[in-house]
Structure 1
Amino acid sequence: ERIGWGASGRNGGQAIAGFGCGEAKLEALVGFDDARRMFDLSREGLQWLRERIVRHGIDCDWRDGHATVPIKPRQLRDALAAAEDFNTRYDYPVEWWDRERLRTVLASDRYLGAMYDPHSGHLHPLEYALGLARAAMSAGVRIFEQSRVESLARGPRPVFRTAQGEVHCDFAVLAGNALLHGIAPELESRIMPVGTYIGATVPLGEERAAALIGNDMAVADTNWALDYFRRSRDHRLLFGGRASYSTLPPPNLRGTMTRRMRRVFPQLADVQFEYVWGGYIDISLNRAPHFGRLGSNLYFAQGFSGHGVIATGLAGKLISESIRGQSERLDLFARIRHLPFPGGPALRTPMLVAAMAWYKLRDALW
């Protein structure tokens, strides 16, 4: 339980404009005008991320470029429509690459094309998180690691109690995501912890790694149970894609990840994962971000749904604005209606597992 111990340090490092639910879903939730405002804020979040890296000299291997790659004809139609929307209705320039163009930079025959976003990209998430912590401490912030909050007393001055002591404050922010552990039940009921897993191959050497992804972009497919991957500075392939909705570690994780990787890159039949790790992200029922406040002085940010690299920084910026008295941009996100996961504490996990089985079947069949 140190800086970067959770999803901030273990994630796949893909920094993608937008939110986990996608723009079409966001439009259905709040209408186009507000969805467009939220997307524009995510673009600001991407710019803030880039600026923080430069301003604080964070050596986190930032690389430009992200490709969203469809596998099935249905996904191809959706991706083409999304690219058109970005370029016209959202004024966000992306490129469409047909299969032949994609094949010149991605050594896989699995995909039907790509929506290439030159503005998004990828980074080393732990180095970024640690760099932010150093920058915060240099500005006077005090960070207490290994100090799990055991209880919260709400009121005019919230009090957080740990085994080592108490923190009294005028304003507080709950940013525990999947790890709130009973501190705010009304928030926990609206998110679900999902285990997600990543592997790092043995070093491939510069030439072999570059032959896989020639332009060093990050890649993610459009399956519900998606694969995502990128190169690392030391010429490994980082490959993520296994998820567990039951809170139980998947059996034979290394073997499963190896099969998924070789399905994309059969030329890596001789390559093994040197490291495999995982952790929990938080998803909301609608996959949209859940930002807001409980009362006048207790703020929260959760529901990043796999798109937290940019959105966490955005949430922090909007919450800080609200604490200073400018709440308009944070309140925009309060217009998204977030429902609890059905089933209550006893049944919500089995119900989610059943629902995810349907989506995986859909990915496989059409």
Structure 2
Amino acid sequence: MPNTPYPSSYYAASAHPAPQRPVLEGERIADVCIIGAGYTGLSTAIALLERGYSVVILEAAKVGFGASGRNGGQIVNSYSRDIDVIEQTLPAKEAHLIGQMAFEGGRIIRERVARYGIQCDLKDGGVFAAFNAKQMHHLEAQQTLWARYGHQELEMLDKAAIEQVVGTHRYTGGMLDRSGGHIHPLNLALGEADVVESLGGTIHEHTPAIRVERGAKPVVHTNQGCVKATYVVVAGNAYLGNLIPELAAKSMPCGTQVIATEPLSEEMAKRLLPQDYCVEDCNYLLDYYRLSADRRLIYGGGVIYGARDPADVEKIIRPKLAKTFPELANVKIDYAWTGNFLLTLSRLPQLGRLGNNIYYSQGCSGHGVTFTHLAGKVLGEALAGQAERFDAFAQLPHYPFPGGRLFRIPFTAMGAWYYDIRDKFNV
């Protein structure tokens, strides 16, 4: 990806200035070579640099080019499948460990923002919005489940209460997570890249890894050089391609679409989201939205399996926006973009190692903002010899998609269609 620019998103247009980071030329030696300068790679690098490791990050495009710089910007706790599913999947000890970590990603973001002075428009508060009684029952069960793991920052909202925090009549009720929140995702990534470099790490942009030479001392090869390392961390997620075939077989890139309106009046913004919380609904194919720092409504939703770019993002998302906020039916859309996230068959994340010295994290399945930050901390612990938490995640099953790569898109699309029908007919 030589000289690959950021997509034409609101985030790229409002990003803080960033230095041009050089292409890798020649040979480098490091304790750890990380493939990917998104949240997973950056978070892992910070965790390792704080422990005194030498770190080189290879990024095929630019810092935060992938999902880390394109997502909805929402800090959402837990995982794409909740702790109760993990409790049914793993032995009690490992399930409990993962449950305890379900709320850590957001804390890591806030701690890092405070410690290093990262400017990313951090705001507190996130709402889960329910369309019907069934979804409300699910939220009530979720509140009870999270309380078992010590998370007491949830407040149930009836119809009157949710209309005080979201200016629409669409919802039956919802749940407020006061420890949720939202950020400018690309500026968070750029701020974390600055932290990496301030701690002595090196980031090479426009430097795709083209081959990983495995062995006692792995070597990551690029077009113009290589990194010889003691450990390699694979953190490319949906933008990794087929660099590591056994990882590609157990995951699928999916696209999600986002639009940003023109700046709204202060009166309009206050009417739509009075407390400036972010919102996601409880459907399987959910919508999510929030206000930017300059009062644009950022609204996303929809899934494109296989991660092809749709011809007209606005055409997909505008009807969803208008259904939620009819007064914005004709609002000007200044930006529309798509970004890829990585889906696993179980919708649970995949952490593991290949041999003794190649580690990976992938497949956040839509909960990437928080999980990637947790994963970086857990990977840093594992490389430093404290692997209990890493090993708990590594026990989660990593299923291949039925029929292999050829059938994973139609198979998954059929499953999504089934759940979409269930959402629409409340079954």
2:388 match: 328
2:50 match: none
- Mapping of 1:253-332 within 5 angstroms? 253-332=313-392
Task: Give 4+ residue runs of structure 1 displaced > 4 Å after superposition.
Answer: none
Q: Which moved more, 1:264-273 or 1:227-236?
A: 264-273
Which amino acid in 2 is paired with 1:153?
Answer: E
- 1:33–1:213 distance in 2 versus 1, CA, 3 Å: farther
Alignment partner for residue 247 of structure 1, among 294, 307, 332? 307
SS in 1 for 2:352: strand
2:401 match: 341
CA contact (8 A) 2:70 2:186 kept: yes
* Distance in 2 of aligned mates of 1:91 and 1:17: 13
CA contact (8 A) 2:129 2:173 kept: yes
Which amino acid in 2 is paired with 1:59?
Answer: Q
2:220 match: 160
Which amino acid in 2 is paired with 1:90?
Answer: Y
1:9 match: 69
* Distance in 2 of aligned mates of 1:61 and 1:33: 37
* Distance in 2 of aligned mates of 1:61 and 1:39: 28
* Distance in 2 of aligned mates of 1:10 and 1:271: 22
Alignment partner for residue 294 of structure 2, among 229, 234, 250? 234
CA contact (8 A) 1:246 1:353 kept: no
For structure 1, which runs of at least 5 residues remain unmatched after alignment? Answer: none
CA contact (8 A) 1:292 1:334 kept: yes
SS in 1 for 2:309: coil
Alignment partner for residue 109 of structure 2, among 44, 49, 59? 49
CA contact (8 A) 1:258 1:272 kept: no
CA contact (8 A) 1:149 1:162 kept: yes
Q: CA deviation at 1:336?
A: 0.9
- 1:32–1:250 distance in 2 versus 1, CA, 3 Å: farther
**What is the number of residues matched between the two proteins?**
365
Q: CA deviation at 1:31?
A: 5.1
Q: Which moved more, 1:223-232 or 1:22-31?
A: 22-31
Deviations 1:17-65 (A, max 9, x none): 1111122222221255533421322323221211100111111011111
- % of aligned pairs identical? 39
The alignment status of 1:173 with 2:253, answered yes or no, reads no
TM-score where L is the length of structure 2: 0.83
- Mapping of 1:82-231 within 5 angstroms? 82-87=142-147, 89-93=148-152, 94-231=154-291
Q: Which moved more, 1:329-338 or 1:40-49?
A: 40-49
SS in 1 for 2:339: strand
* Distance in 2 of aligned mates of 1:196 and 1:98: 29
Which amino acid in 2 is paired with 1:306?
Answer: G
TM-score where L is the length of structure 1: 0.96
Q: CA deviation at 1:86?
A: 2.1
Two-structure CA RMSD over aligned residues (Å) = 1.3
CA contact (8 A) 1:53 1:59 kept: yes
- 1:250–1:360 distance in 2 versus 1, CA, 3 Å: farther
- 1:33–1:206 distance in 2 versus 1, CA, 3 Å: farther
SS in 1 for 2:378: helix
